[in-house]
Structure 1
Amino acid sequence: MPAALPRRLLGELLGTMLLVTAVVGSGIMATRLSPDDVGLQLLENSTATVFALAVLILILGPVSGAHFNPVVTVAAWWSDRHDPAGLPARDIAPYLAAQTLGAIAGSVLANAMFGVAQGLSATVRDKPQLWLGEVVATAGLVLLVFALVRTGRAALAAPAVGAYIGAAYWFTSSTSFANPAVTVGRAFTDTFAGITPTSVPGYIGAQVLGALIGVGLVAALFPAVRATRDDIDVRAGRPIEELTVGERR
């Protein structure tokens, strides 16, 4: 049997919280260590995020699937809506709530650790080129995750997703938020990683569009869902050995 819903929600809340703590905390540390070099600040911030994300996926994948991202959760449900082992539709709203609350808590925790005053961000990110960056970043993330699942390589999710997000920090204009919950959470810190609340809707809209493009690319490139023999089913956090023979087909 899959993990009970409360345990999966705790996994999503904890994972998203620690992810945002890593993003925000490393951003604060970067500005303190390298106050006059924005490029070095971004390198420090992205490196910490890559490692933290990979580790969190490894730790919490067996519990909740390690989505930490509303667009991944919704895409997982859509991709596996006919699969008995997939994420049930009734779990979507609780997952999204846990991820969003976790993201906010992550910013609050990072602020507290570094002695930063709690409050909303004043960093405006509302240019069209930034929205385009979010479309590209989110489409690529969704394509990556579900390409791995549909080709039986879900065990590579931790290093692959970490590597993609790390690269997207640098090749997208927006530095790759690619996550509506994380975007909301980052509005609660007036630091290097922050985003003003008025900029959040534009980013989330771009992320939703990117997710739709990503799902379309997955359907076009990998139309057949193949059962995986990986230890962890990243779609629903269900150990493959617990699936029945019929469910594995």
Structure 2
Amino acid sequence: MDAFDLSRRLVAEALGTAILVATVVGSGIMAEALTKDVALALLCNTLPTGAILVVLITILGPISGAHFNPAVTLVFAGRRELPVNEAALYIIAQIAGGIAGTMAAHLMFALPLIEFSLKVRTGGAQWLAEAVAAFGLIATILAGIRFQRTAVPWLVGLYITAAYWFTASTSFANPAVAISRSLTNTFSGIRSVDLPGFILAELCGAIVGMMLMNWLLGRSPARAPVALSKTSR
């Protein structure tokens, strides 16, 4: 695989996060314009988000790793797969890109560049949901890389599509996306005052996910499980 210099990797992270957030916010705005049915609007928000993740991870993954998420970046830094100084720059690029994505979505729908959200998203259930969402995302990424690297774009896209519906918070699972969504007073928004609880929950879930998967995926001298078919190895 080609090695890309840091400047190109940072641009890939910023661009990917920008497009991801523009998709989340833009599809939410479109959904609100097309229907007053909240369940249908959520579906309209979910499908584009899962789809764009498949695209972005496929085309930008070979450049930067396609983190698009400070929690994911911190996990890889914690696993010593990304230097700490580069991880810090990744996170800055992701946050900047996410904010740009919100502004791009607003411009496309003729809204003010920035609108601070008034949507309440707080409480223990919401925080637990975010921890679970981030935990599952990290588990999906690490196990995917270990066992089926080429399927990671689809695994992540499908996981987020599912997590939109089985978590009470609709699965932000991403501090950069949460920050960006606080700047839109539309379907996908979140109040700025609710951000700390969400971000802390996401980071805690990611750390627990990393710790469990590091152990679960670690090599062991124990005997391998019996193959399920003659072709399995």
Q: Which has the higher contact order (CA 8 A, sep 6+)?
A: 1
Match of 1:68? 68
Match of 1:176? 171
Q: Secondary structure at the match of 1:194?
A: coil
Pick one of 109, 113, 123 that aligns with 1:114. 109
User: How far does residue 2 in structure 1 lie from its aligned partner after superposition?
Assistant: 2.1
Q: Indicate yes or no: 2:157 matched with 1:156.
A: no
Match of 1:28? 29
Match of 2:199? 204
User: How far does residue 64 in structure 1 lie from its aligned partner after superposition?
Assistant: 0.5
User: How far does residue 135 in structure 1 lie from its aligned partner after superposition?
Assistant: 0.6
Amino acid at match of 2:31: A
For 1:41 and 1:9, the matched residues in 2 are separated by: 33
Match of 2:91? 96
- 8 Å CA contact 1:75–1:215 kept in 2: the answer is yes
How is 1:1-249 mapped onto 2 (pairs within 5 angstroms)? 2-34=3-35, 36-79=36-79, 81=80, 86-117=81-112, 118-151=114-147, 153-224=148-219
Contiguous gaps of at least 5 residues in structure 2? 221-233
For 1:183 and 1:224, the matched residues in 2 are separated by: 35
Paired-residue identity, %: 47
For 1:74 and 1:103, the matched residues in 2 are separated by: 17
Amino acid at match of 2:115: G
For 2:107 and 2:123, the matched residues in 1 are separated by: 30
Q: CA offsets, 1:21-74, max 9 Å, x none? A: 00000000001111x200000001000101111101111011101000011111
For 1:110 and 1:127, the matched residues in 2 are separated by: 28
How many pairs does the alignment contain? 218
For 1:92 and 1:219, the matched residues in 2 are separated by: 19
TM-score, normalization by structure 2: 0.91
- 8 Å CA contact 2:144–2:155 kept in 1: the answer is no
For 1:224 and 1:198, the matched residues in 2 are separated by: 43
User: How far does residue 89 in structure 1 lie from its aligned partner after superposition?
Assistant: 2.1
- 8 Å CA contact 1:17–1:106 kept in 2: the answer is yes
Q: CA offsets, 1:73-108, max 9 Å, x none? A: 1111222x2xxxx32222011000000001111111
| Moved segments of 4+, more than 6 Å | none
What is the aligned-residue RMSD (CA, Å)?
1.2
TM-score, normalization by structure 1: 0.85
- 8 Å CA contact 2:135–2:207 kept in 1: the answer is yes
Amino acid at match of 1:4: D
Contiguous gaps of at least 5 residues in structure 1? 226-249
- 8 Å CA contact 1:150–1:224 kept in 2: the answer is no
